[in-house]
Amino acid sequence: MWEDFYIGNKVLWNTDSIEKEAVDEISTRLGLPSLLSKVLVKRGLYDTEQIMAFLKPAAKNLNDPFLLPDMDKAVSRIINAREKNEKVIIYGDYDVDGVTAVSILFGFLNSIGVDVSYYIPDRVDEGYGISETAADYLSNGGYDLMITVDCGITAKDRIDCIVNELAGKNRKMDFIITDHHLPVPGMIPEAAAVVNPNLENSRYPFKHLCGAGIAFKIVQALCKELNMADKYFNYVDLAALGTVADIVSVTEENRIIVWAGIEKIKRCPNPGILALMKVSGINEVDSRKLAFILAPRLNAAGRMGDASRAVKLLTENDALLIEKIAKDLNTENITRQRTQEEIYKKAVESIESDSKYSAEKVLVVHGEDWHHGVIGIVASMLAERYYKPCFVLSVSGDIAKGSARSIEGFNIYSAMEYCADLFIKYGGHKQAGGITMRTGDINEFRRRVNIYAESTSFSLVPAIDIDAEAEPHEINIEAANAIMALAPFGEGNEPPVFSVKGMTVINKKHVGGNGEHLVLGLHSKGCNFNAVCFGMGDLEPCIRLNKDIDLVFTIGIDRFMGKADVRLFVKAIRTTENNLKRNKILLKAAEKVGCLDYSRDWIYNVINNQLVNRDDIRLSREELISLYRFLCNSGSGTLTDGQLFCLAEELSQGNIKMNYFKLLAGMHVLDQLGIIGFSCPANGKYGVRVLKSTQKASLEDSALYSYLQSLQQAVNE
């Protein structure tokens, strides 16, 4: 983190140029703050009607549900089941999208008198899709109609087995498949209806509905057919929860669903959602709280036990039972967090104790009986920490089951296909997946998946995509309120990210139980700001008062006692752009000195750069004495490049003008004189050891010091 602050080499800041004329035109035409207009242009919104539809979502703009493939057939078959009093079962997945989809359909069908029940498979014992256990249950349950939600589009073989099993008993059951996952030719089941916006023959204008979104559209269609007006909006909060939890694009129709769902929660939330809010300690929701506070608690039902409890929470009328389930899920979510953290720590220890991992592009880590319900989260955490694709496997005897998470630019499903012969089964998509394999094949898999990674081109340097560069005068309460109109945020509509240059630090303080966060007071061009830097407490020594910094941030509003102020939520922070360039030059020059590559011409040319002058390489006796005294007081240890940059700033006081080049050169000079031991081992950390010596040393005995002095004389000439 320190190295990135001084050199900017750990994270890319991606900023595209924006058409200034278009920004000015939109601001003038619609009376919008320029900061909002920049975001609209960046996201391809120019037309007035298009912009207003985005800024002001409306239920009237929901698509006609009957545009979905086979929706008319699905509605007809469900109504027929009600009229004939047939037994209907809903089959759904165990994640939040699945349980909210089940809850929507079960709640509505139950309310209109359908004899309906539901089945959710066990995450560990059955896994995703229609399991063999479920097939046996369904074949013997006496059901007339089965409706899948959030699954089933590739379940042809399993459904064929159920059909054949029932035929042997001279019975039959119809199927309605509702799913949003991509269909595979030849694997789509024979059914009374297949409702999926991604079918080849689909005319539906929006392809990114989740399972809960499709269940919501079915209820909308049924209400339309049964003349029940807008009763389907009773379930829009559940659809919103499933949408943000499944990380589908929060644009177009999904944006309307999430917006309407949040509005319903504000007015009259589902009792189960309200109970979850209470145990979570929140009074209001937005899309972020849905995704990161409520969804994990619902997910805890399936991760740590029986997912059907989540459906009971969302469909029951018994207030005491709802309260009990919510408390249980909150407790289990705490257990899940602890379990997840324990496994994460073990995985990190495993990675950092094996030097081979540093050279590998893909991480494959495993442990005995790691909890299946959390290894996917752990894989995500590791992928974020190391910015590498990651597989986390739980070993139980001869079998290992794992979850995979990827990074931008690396298709993890293709990587799994490359190693398919090592798997008992596998599945997933570009960014995530799951595998089951024999324990004895783990090492071969680790070797082979990295062979595949070496054959592909992708960056192992994370990037922050910046919507626009902001001028200080643009960052005000009017702009902040306007930016909030872009909510609800989520996949495909992230909170806008801005950069601002040359902010002067006027105060700073640690916050948080362990000082892990920073709050900064900033000033620029007559404007003052408060900035919160979550998880950046370690950067405090680098951020110096009255010095300028550049930062990347999202904008927020701090409301207190009726007053609203702008607050910047910092995502990344660095020294100024000119300082970055200067530091890189000094770093390169210092590396040449460190390698004893005394190229007079090269260093002479470097100091002719406008960012570096001759005083920047002039190492004085006073600076060496200052450095030596510091080392005597601090003792032996190791230093990274980032720490060296920070130390150079710390030592720069009064007449001492230290920088990275002079600091590193000074270390080498003291090493040559036998005053300290200075080394650069393979792990990238410099080793410093103060030596006990009674002999007086002369600076002229150092070849490097003499060289730098002669170079200085040459420059002066």
Q: What is the CATH number of the domain that holds 387?
A: 3.10.310.30
Q: For residue 698, what pLDDT is reported?
A: 83
The pLDDT confidence band at residue 713, using thresholds 50, 70 and 90, is low
pLDDT of residue 707: 77
Instruction: Output the six-digit token pair for 295.
Output: 């969804």
Q: Which DSSP letter does residue 129 get?
A: S
For the segment 83-89, the average pLDDT, to the nearest whole number, is: 98
Q: Looking at the predicted structure, is the pLDDT value of residue 594 above 70?
A: no
- Which pLDDT tens digit goes with each residue over 482-519? 999 999 999 999 999 999 999 999 999 999 888 899 99
Model pLDDT, residue 638: 86
What's the average model confidence in pLDDT over 677-705? 80
Please tell me the total count of domains within the chain. Answer: 4
Q: Of 454, 489, 507, at which residue does a domain stop?
A: 454
Q: Cα separation of 394 and 377, whole Å?
A: 13
Q: What is the mean pLDDT of residues 338-366?
A: 95
Among residues 575, 607, 624, the one where a domain terminates is 575
Q: Which residue has the higher pLDDT, 636 or 38?
A: 38
* 449 and 512 both lie in a single domain: no
Beta bridge partners of 527: 524
**pTM of this structure:** 0.88
550 lies in the same domain as 618: no
For position 608, what pLDDT does the model report? 60
| 221 pLDDT above the threshold of 90 | yes
Same domain, 270 and 244: yes
Query: For residue 324, which amino acid is it?
Result: K
Residue 188, pLDDT above cutoff 80: yes
Q: Is residue 508 part of a domain?
A: yes
| Whether 138 and 253 share a structural domain | yes
608 three-class SS: coil
Can you tell me the mean pLDDT for 434-446?
Answer: 96
Check whether 96 has a pLDDT greater than 80: yes
**Whether residues 294 and 391 fall in one domain:** no
Q: How confident is the model at residue 607 (pLDDT cuts 50, 70, 90)?
A: low
On whether residue 347 sits in a domain, the answer given is: no
| Chain Cα centroid distance, residue 105 | 30
258 has a pLDDT exceeding 70:
yes
Q: Which residues contact 368 (CB under 8 A, 6 or more apart)?
A: 394, 395, 396
pLDDT tens digit sequence for 201-217: 999 999 999 999 999 99
For residue 51, being part of any structural domain is answered with no
Residues 101 and 208 in one domain: yes
pLDDT bucket at 618, cuts 50 / 70 / 90? confident
Buried b / exposed e along 300-317 (16+ C-beta atoms within 10 A):
bbbbbbebbbbbbbbbbe
Share of the chain above pLDDT 70, in %: 96
Indicate the burial class of 53 (C-beta count within 10 angstroms; 0-12, 13-18, 19 or more): middle
Question: What is the domain-level CATH number for residue 542?
Answer: 2.40.50.460
Residue where one domain finishes, among candidates 332, 364, 399: 332
Pairwise CA distance, residues 302 & 603, whole Å: 63
Pair (248, 127) in one structural domain: yes
Domain identity same for 67 and 149 = yes
Domain range for 613: 579-716
- Smallest Cα–Cα separation from 411: which of 426, 434, 433, 380? 433
Lowest mean pLDDT among 69-83, 101-115, 575-589: 575-589
Residue 459 inside a domain? The answer is: no
Task: Tell me: pLDDT of 712 over 90.
Answer: no
pLDDT exceeds 90 at position 290? yes
Residue spans of alpha helices (H) in 112-184:
132-139, 156-168
* Residue of 254 and 372 predicted with greater confidence: 254
In this predicted structure, what is the pLDDT of residue 610?
63
How far is it, in rounded angstroms, from Cα 40 to Cα 282? 31
| Least confident residue range of 250-254, 345-349, 610-614 | 610-614
Compute the distance between CA of residue 613 and CA of residue 610 in angstroms, rounded to an integer.
7
Residue 396 placed within a domain: yes
pLDDT in tens, 649-690: 988 887 888 999 889 888 888 888 888 888 876 667 888 888
Q: Could you tell me the pLDDT band of residue 710, with boundaries at 50, 70 and 90?
A: confident
Asked which of 61-70, 524-533, 572-581, 602-611 is least confident by mean pLDDT, the reply is 602-611
What token pair was written down for 79?
């109504």
Average pLDDT value over all residues in the chain: 91
Answer whether residue 642 is part of any domain: yes
589 and 571 both lie in a single domain: no
Residue 510 lies in a domain: yes
Residue 413 lies in a domain: yes
Q: Are residues 504 and 644 in the same domain?
A: no
- My answer on whether 304 and 213 are in the same domain is yes
Q: 371 and 273 in one domain?
A: no
Cβ partners under 8 Å of residue 338, min gap 6: none
Residue 605: is its pLDDT beyond 90?
Answer: no
Q: pLDDT band for position 595 (50/70/90)?
A: low
- Identify the pLDDT of residue 634: 83
Residue 67 CA to residue 522 CA, distance in Å, equals 53
**What are 115-173's pLDDT values in tens digits?**
999 999 988 788 778 888 999 999 999 999 999 999 999 899 999 999 999 999 999 99
Given a cut of 70, whether residue 191 has pLDDT beyond it is yes
Is residue 34 pLDDT above 60, yes or no? yes
Q: Tens digits of per-residue pLDDT, 314-330?
A: 999 999 999 999 999 99
Alpha carbon distance 349, 537 (integer Å): 23
pLDDT at 580 over 80: yes
pLDDT value at 254 more than 70: yes
Kindly report the CATH number assigned to the domain that includes residue 228: 3.90.1640.30
pLDDT tier at 559 (50, 70, 90 boundaries)? confident
- Candidate from 447-456, 649-658, 691-700 with smallest mean pLDDT: 691-700
Does residue 411 register a pLDDT over 60?
yes
